[in-house]
Structure 1
């Protein structure tokens, strides 16, 4: 955890230099807000555990010498990682707009610690991959409550005019901490071994981050993180049943949110295809290239390059939005990734794929930060949790579907120029769709 603290300190310094704007609270003052810092620490603890658990599980199933992994198995693994975000979405949204979010974060963290322990025991016992996927579904399903809760709670601890800035700090550094957690998993597998036993010991370390998240969550006062108002039926069942519909209605009534969803839709489809290709290429096609390594270490390198891209995106996004506006920033990010996939993805070598990962995840983070800020600004607190949960559900269903389709046509070694071209096409379609969706926002302002 000292390394996590170091990352935070570095992030604080760099964000302060680049993001400060005279029209906003200076970043140092923003980070001086005790409740905001506490929410950051909670997010860091949770995302470190999440990164470690997911990477440990991926290593256990995909890069474990005791188990085999074909495209279908890998696609199933991605489904196990993404499906909870879809299944839990409607429930998380309704309950986060009904229950005290502090209590949700505490209970979810405790439950996740227990489930991680169960998954660890399963790995140590050599449980079949199907059972491990089921355990991961439960762990990540609970994690989804925490992610939606953290996003919905942010406007309660920072001024509204600083939401883009606060998101840049929280989401960007949180993503880097998650990447660091994945790196910890890779290092721990080197220490304890890459078989089932070593994988089990590795994933058990995620309990540490989850317990720390509990300790940070309990320090918030009751009701501090919202919701301020409860716009829900008296019965919990009806609240859950209505959550998805209300979230969709609230999002549709906010034109800027709809436009952002279109951009993210294109990005998530392309990113999903690229992730499946990256895993197969690292597993079966790439070989070591100088100091660059293939295999699980290669995926760690991709995560590192992606993390740097995400970090830089967090630094520059507020400046880009202030300088050019949100619409040009999102369109520029989509076009940048399309160009990156053409120039760096198509050669399909290990070094160029790392460059493509840097730009894809960096530009994707720019889009996400813009969309998160729009949701927090344009959606009322009584519906914000449901919209964030709808957001998670919709885009993770998209990712699962994209991976499933790609798995059906991709070669066993992942080498496919056609799928790279498909990602480029989706990014360009995203630009067109975003422009058309944005016209609705412009028409609303004219009226």
Structure 2
């Protein structure tokens, strides 16, 4: 039928259209919220701009994705997913309005803003999981593969558009609490529209068809056991476990650079107190990072077939090291932007290769748990980076010694991958899923 024909078939499905509308509106609101939050927490003249303050808020932003993420599925198998989408959007709208009011009355650094922001981000984690979990209930058969390919892409596009709207709101208004509060209030309005869009779905349309009734504590314990079994399997299989550890190291180092970029954009490349200029500079940094990532999508399939995924990862880590050596020279705008593009290319190209290794070398019985662990490590590495950044990144974000140390760390990881990482997986006898206490590899 072709992708275009399948998309036409999907759009004829009333349930899919309604769920897609919820996704687009919800993720547009999420993009607006994240830009409003970044403006308030990182670029507002009233917010503390020290490395410790920025790193602490950054860790708070990622905590829900690290802690809540693995357990979201347990609750989504118990609660009506349509209710999760409807009430979740409504709840985070209320939380976001509360943040806007607190920013106006107190300051972006007030504890109320931090707590409400953490709660809103936690609710958003459930919404994203609920959108994916409900999709098979409105799309069946071969069209489900196309739906799974299209909807996340469209959702990411909606988040990008929403973020652009949030940036324009924060940029055109006079810098200060009023601009930050207005951006958050606009996001809250779109969240309420998402709740109304979810209400158009039938109460039980998204499932679960047979809600779980057992003890919640047992289900949470089962998740922990499954993740532990998955970790043992990946370690025994070697190549996917090593790939995940390398990616965690890469994200850890990248996270330090990301926080340094916020500080450079705010405190070095913009005039003191000019939050609009700082936010605009950081938006350009993110844009060039995204351009580098887009280039990786084209370059990686073409060139990595000649090197193999492990060698490709090592080469990309060396490219990341080169980007840090470039930043050692000067914090000039052109150098920072060029470094962002190179690091974006290296990060996304390495991620594509890691994804390939994990998918190729993980048995289907463990693949879901492998990517659950991937998600946890991916975000936990960023939280760890925030801790390191709070200790070692200067308040203006730039230090020749810092970027030199990051370059050395990238080279060391690349050297380990090139010289020591396995190129083929170990043979493993599959255990009885999560019940097996130990998995022993059998070398080929």
Q: TM-score, normalised by structure 1?
A: 0.75
Any idea what the Cα deviations from partners look like across 1:188-236, whole Å, max 9, x if unmatched? 0233332212211111222344345556666778898788999x89211
1:134 aligns with: 115
The answer as to whether partners of 1:61 and 1:129 remain within 8 angstroms in 2 is: no
Does residue 31 of structure 2 align to residue 68 of structure 1?
A: no
1:277 aligns with: 260
How many pairs does the alignment contain? 416
**Partner Cα separation in structure 1 for residue 92 and residue 223 of structure 2:** 23
- Among candidates 91, 104, 112, match of residue 71 of structure 2: 91
**Partner Cα separation in structure 1 for residue 403 and residue 191 of structure 2:** 37
Secondary structure, aligned partner of 1:258:
helix
1:82 aligns with: 62
**Partner Cα separation in structure 2 for residue 262 and residue 167 of structure 1:** 27
1:12 aligns with: none
Matches of residues 195-344 of structure 1 in structure 2 within 5 Å?
Answer: 195-211=176-192, 213-214=194-195, 234-254=214-234, 255=237, 257-287=240-270, 295-314=278-297, 326-343=309-326
The structure-2 alpha-carbon separation of the partners of 1:183 and 1:72, relative to structure 1 and needing over 3 Å to count, comes to same
Q: CA deviation at 1:394?
A: 3.0
The answer as to whether partners of 2:427 and 2:443 remain within 8 angstroms in 1 is: yes
2:124 aligns with: 143
The answer as to whether partners of 1:175 and 1:310 remain within 8 angstroms in 2 is: no
- Among candidates 380, 385, 390, match of residue 402 of structure 1: 385
Any idea what the Cα deviations from partners look like across 1:311-343, whole Å, max 9, x if unmatched? 444455566677866545544443332333333
The answer as to whether partners of 2:316 and 2:346 remain within 8 angstroms in 1 is: yes
1:123 aligns with: 103
The answer as to whether partners of 1:155 and 1:376 remain within 8 angstroms in 2 is: no
Does residue 434 of structure 2 align to residue 422 of structure 1?
A: no
| Gap runs ≥5 in structure 1 | 1-24
The structure-2 alpha-carbon separation of the partners of 1:332 and 1:245, relative to structure 1 and needing over 3 Å to count, comes to farther
The structure-2 alpha-carbon separation of the partners of 1:195 and 1:219, relative to structure 1 and needing over 3 Å to count, comes to same
Q: CA deviation at 1:237?
A: 2.0
Any idea what the Cα deviations from partners look like across 1:381-410, whole Å, max 9, x if unmatched? 8983x6555433333232122222222122
**Partner Cα separation in structure 2 for residue 94 and residue 376 of structure 1:** 24
Higher mean C-alpha displacement, 143-152 vs 257-266: 143-152
**Partner Cα separation in structure 2 for residue 344 and residue 141 of structure 1:** 35
Which protein is bigger by CA-based radius of gyration?
2
The structure-2 alpha-carbon separation of the partners of 1:58 and 1:172, relative to structure 1 and needing over 3 Å to count, comes to same
**Partner Cα separation in structure 1 for residue 311 and residue 206 of structure 2:** 33
The structure-2 alpha-carbon separation of the partners of 1:187 and 1:419, relative to structure 1 and needing over 3 Å to count, comes to same
The answer as to whether partners of 2:89 and 2:191 remain within 8 angstroms in 1 is: yes
Q: CA deviation at 1:87?
A: 2.6
Any idea what the Cα deviations from partners look like across 1:32-64, whole Å, max 9, x if unmatched? 562888776655444432232222122223322
The structure-2 alpha-carbon separation of the partners of 1:434 and 1:126, relative to structure 1 and needing over 3 Å to count, comes to same
Any idea what the Cα deviations from partners look like across 1:148-178, whole Å, max 9, x if unmatched? 4556678996999998x98886666655554
The structure-2 alpha-carbon separation of the partners of 1:209 and 1:339, relative to structure 1 and needing over 3 Å to count, comes to farther
2:172 aligns with: 191
The answer as to whether partners of 1:261 and 1:371 remain within 8 angstroms in 2 is: yes
Any idea what the Cα deviations from partners look like across 1:110-158, whole Å, max 9, x if unmatched? 3322322222222232355322111111111112223445566789969
- Among candidates 332, 338, 348, match of residue 349 of structure 1: 332
The answer as to whether partners of 2:266 and 2:279 remain within 8 angstroms in 1 is: yes
The answer as to whether partners of 1:244 and 1:390 remain within 8 angstroms in 2 is: no
Secondary structure, aligned partner of 1:253:
helix
**Partner Cα separation in structure 2 for residue 333 and residue 46 of structure 1:** 34
**Partner Cα separation in structure 1 for residue 191 and residue 101 of structure 2:** 17
| Gap runs ≥5 in structure 2 | 429-441
- The two structures, once aligned, show a CA RMSD in angstroms of 4.3
1:59 aligns with: 39
